[in-house]
Structure 1
């Protein structure tokens, strides 16, 4: 669940950035792809953090554990906050120089930090902490695990088609410089991450099916043994 919520949260932040940053018309969608991929890795880290803390602190009675929410929210804040504090992020238009420090601190910094770091981290942490609490209370652990694997696969498929969807309507690249290659490079990265998620989901589904078959076989043998002993 962290993978998908992270991709959606930081992908939305990338959408906001793409509407506020000048770029070649065919490269405008690039922040969306970067944001979605970044969200996959951050969401994965936040999801594992929530899972480990939920196991350590036990079952949560309420909507979510505030301690888990605070921990995963902080984890989501750290990378973007560090990057923003060390200076403006590189422009996606390769020939433009980065924003000077006197123009970056503090208005531009605050805007970028809130929209690109705080809000997506908050949204992802809310989903992850809530799901961790719900799955911790649920008596059907295998079903929750199956749902997580299925959602991961759906998220991977969406990532595979994201470059085509996000760049729909954009004009064809023109020229022969680095600015033409940026879309293709970003698209390949997004698709590779999407394929890895789909592969992970398929492996998880195969493992779940095999586990279910083994349990059925054990139950069948136990039933035969009980009948034989009777």
Structure 2
């Protein structure tokens, strides 16, 4: 028997003529195919609100647009379809313009519970718009201060305070804190919709436990919106409304 010798453990390499190089070409994708305007609509109860959706015609040449509303982190709820010959649905109706391809949602006699984020969407492939915020105001703006219960206040930890300005029309609210005569600004959160549809802005501030327990008067004021605020002292909340 003749034994073969000189084995090569390396895998045979493919001929150069077989090896091919592949390249991936970048693909241009439009991030926004549904543009909504205006970004924020502010009206009073009883007014008329008009929201516009402008699809990318080259992407969606359809004849109808669905409208949904969302409040807080809740689910999208269908409200109306803007299409040819679509009759009004209660206070909701639509307007369709082929040129330049704008679809409108019209809300008559708006109510405060109409407030929320309105999103348009194509019917078939569900391309969603960037959303429009509808803020419906009613009645005067109110302001109040929230403080933790006295039993939860520790001598070594700062006391968190929250100032709530309710019934405003936008996020651009100037909120100041007055701590025993020292005026400063706190952290301001983005506005949120309350269950009744009113729009509220919150500002947060921390006061040292020593100052709080010693009787420091803490007041928050929304400068141009309301001329008076509320005060918290020694773990209680006292209103200074006149």
Q: Which TM-score tier does this pair reach, normalised by the shorter chain? A: under 0.3
More strand by share: 2
What TM-score do you get using the length of structure 2 for normalisation?
A: 0.21
Whichever structure has more helix as a proportion of its residues is 1
Q: TM-score, normalised by structure 1?
A: 0.21
The higher relative CO (CA closer than 8 Å, separation ≥ 6) is in: 1
